Structure 1
Amino acid sequence: MQSSELSVQGQNLHQLYNQYYRNKLLVDRRYQRKLVWTRDEKEKLIDSAVNKLPIPLILLAQRRKGGVEIYELIDGLQRLEAFFSFMENKYPYKGEYFDLATTGDTLAKLHSGELTQKEPVLSRDASLEIANYQIPVSIYRDAATSSIDEVFRRINSGGRRLSLHEIRQAGVMGPLSDVVRRTSATIRGDGTFAETLTLSEMEKLSISRKDLEYGLDLERIFWTRHNIIGADDIRSSGDEEMVLDLVLDAILTPWPTSGWQNRDVAYGLSRKIRSASAEEVNAAITAVGIENLQQRIVAVIEMLDEAMRDHGPLGRHMVHLETYEKGTRRQFQAVFSVLYELIFRDGMQPLSLEAVRNILDNFWGRDLAIPTGGSAWGKDEKAKLYPQVKRRIKKAFFKPEPKNIAKQLNARLLIESYLQGPVNEDPLVELKQGFCVLSNPPTENVDLFDEVMQTAVGMANWSRDATGLILIGVADKPSAAQRSAELFGVTPVEIHGQHVVGTEEQIAHLGHDIDSWWLKWQAKIKATPVDSDFSADLVHSFSPLVCDGRVLWIMKPRSLGKPISYKNRFFVRVGASTHEMKTDEFLSHISRNF
Structure 2
Amino acid sequence: MPISLSINSESIQHIYVNYTKGFYLINRRYQRKLVWSIEEKEKFIDSIMKKFPIPMILTAHSKKEDENHVEILDGMQRLNSIISFIENEFPVNGKFFDLSSTAQTKKYMEENLLIQKDPKLSLDECNELLSYPIPFSIYSADSPEKLDEIFRRINTGGKTLSQQDVRQAGATGDVVDVINSCSAEIRGDCSHSNYIDIRNIKNISISNKKLQYGINIDDIFWVKNNIISNENIRSSRDEELVAYIISYIIDENKSDNTSYFLNSLYKPESQLNEEFTLSLNRKGLDNVNKIFSFIIHEIESIISHCGKTFSSLIYDRKNEKSKDVFQIIFIGLYKIIIKENRRIVNYMNLSNSLDNCFNLHLKSLSRKDRITKNERESLSDSIAGLIRPHTSERDTNDNPTGNSIYRLDNILTASYTEQNCYDFKICLTEISAEHNKDVTKVISKIVKTISAMINSTKEECYIILGITNDAKSATQYEEIYNATHNEYKKFFIFGVDEEVKTKFNGSMDQYEQKIISQIEKEPISESLKINIKRGLVSFLYYGKTIYMFKIKRISDNPEAYDEKFYIRSSSHNDEIKAASMMAFMQNFNSD
Q: Does 1:337 align with 2:331?
A: yes
Cα deviation for residue 386 of structure 1 reads 1.6
Paired residue for 2:375? Answer: 381
Task: Quote the sequence identity (%).
Answer: 25
1:292-342 CA-to-partner distances (Å, cap 9, x unmatched) read 346424423432452353x3x322431223255xx5011111112222343
Q: Does 1:588 align with 2:586?
A: no
Cα deviation for residue 396 of structure 1 reads 3.0
Counterpart pick for 2:311 among 312, 315, 318:
315
Paired residue for 1:360? Answer: 354
Partners of 2:556 and 2:161 in 1: CA distance:
34
Change (3 A) 1:149 1:554: farther
Partners of 2:258 and 2:577 in 1: CA distance:
54
Please report the TM-score for the alignment, with normalisation by the length of structure 1.
0.79
Paired AA for residue 332 in structure 1: F
Counterpart pick for 2:385 among 379, 387, 391:
391
Partners of 2:556 and 2:571 in 1: CA distance:
21
Cα deviation for residue 77 of structure 1 reads 0.5
Structure 2 unaligned regions, length at least 5 = none
Change (3 A) 1:298 1:355: same
Paired residue for 1:229? Answer: 228
Decide whether the 8 Å contact of 1:19 with 1:25 is kept in 2. Answer: yes
1:349-401 CA-to-partner distances (Å, cap 9, x unmatched) read 43444223212211010143454688865432233222111011223334467
Change (3 A) 1:83 1:497: closer
1:77-133 CA-to-partner distances (Å, cap 9, x unmatched) read 111111221222222222222222222222222222222222222232222211111
Change (3 A) 1:66 1:148: closer
Cα deviation for residue 589 of structure 1 reads 4.3
Decide whether the 8 Å contact of 1:29 with 1:195 is kept in 2. Answer: yes
Paired residue for 2:2? Answer: 2
Q: Does 1:546 align with 2:540?
A: yes
Q: Secondary structure at the match of 2:109?
A: helix
Paired AA for residue 99 in structure 1: D
Paired residue for 1:165? Answer: 164
Q: Secondary structure at the match of 2:284?
A: helix
Counterpart pick for 1:417 among 404, 407, 410:
410
Paired residue for 2:287? Answer: 288
Paired residue for 2:567? Answer: 572
Q: Secondary structure at the match of 1:94?
A: coil
Decide whether the 8 Å contact of 2:155 with 2:169 is kept in 1. Answer: no
Partners of 1:235 and 1:416 in 2: CA distance:
21
Cα deviation for residue 427 of structure 1 reads 1.0
Decide whether the 8 Å contact of 1:64 with 1:70 is kept in 2. Answer: no
Q: Does 1:462 align with 2:452?
A: no
For 1:111-510, list aligned pairs within 5 A: 111-141=110-140, 143-169=142-168, 175-190=174-189, 192-209=191-208, 212-254=211-253, 256-267=255-266, 269-271=268-270, 276-286=275-285, 288=287, 290=289, 292-293=290-291, 295-309=293-307, 311=308, 313-322=309-318, 324=320, 328-369=322-363, 371=365, 377-399=371-393, 405=400, 411=406, 414-420=407-413, 426-431=419-424, 455-456=449-450, 458-463=452-457, 466-472=459-465, 474=467, 477-478=473-474, 495=488, 496-502=490-496, 509=507
Q: Secondary structure at the match of 1:158?
A: coil
Partners of 1:518 and 1:356 in 2: CA distance:
40
Decide whether the 8 Å contact of 1:349 with 1:408 is kept in 2. Answer: no
Decide whether the 8 Å contact of 1:410 with 1:549 is kept in 2. Answer: no
Paired AA for residue 430 in structure 1: D
Change (3 A) 1:528 1:241: farther
Change (3 A) 1:284 1:507: farther
Paired AA for residue 193 in structure 2: A
The range that moved more, 349-358 or 12-21, is 349-358
Cα deviation for residue 28 of structure 1 reads 1.6
Decide whether the 8 Å contact of 1:36 with 1:206 is kept in 2. Answer: yes
Partners of 2:157 and 2:555 in 1: CA distance:
33
For 1:75-94, list aligned pairs within 5 A: 75-94=74-93
Paired AA for residue 306 in structure 1: S
Q: Secondary structure at the match of 2:456?
A: coil
What is the CA RMSD across the aligned residues, in angstroms?
A: 4.7
Paired AA for residue 2 in structure 1: P
Please report the TM-score for the alignment, with normalisation by the length of structure 2.
0.80
Q: Secondary structure at the match of 1:430?
A: strand
Q: Secondary structure at the match of 1:427?
A: helix
Partners of 2:94 and 2:85 in 1: CA distance:
12
Change (3 A) 1:130 1:189: same
Partners of 1:151 and 1:111 in 2: CA distance:
42
Partners of 1:421 and 1:271 in 2: CA distance:
33
Structure 1 unaligned regions, length at least 5 = none
The range that moved more, 75-84 or 562-571, is 562-571
Change (3 A) 1:51 1:32: same
Q: Secondary structure at the match of 2:186?
A: helix
Paired residue for 1:22? Answer: 21
Change (3 A) 1:530 1:583: farther
Q: Secondary structure at the match of 1:419?
A: helix
Cα deviation for residue 284 of structure 1 reads 1.7
Paired AA for residue 424 in structure 2: L
Decide whether the 8 Å contact of 1:530 with 1:564 is kept in 2. Answer: no
| Higher RCO (C-alpha under 8 Å, 6+ residues apart) | 1
The range that moved more, 396-405 or 426-435, is 396-405
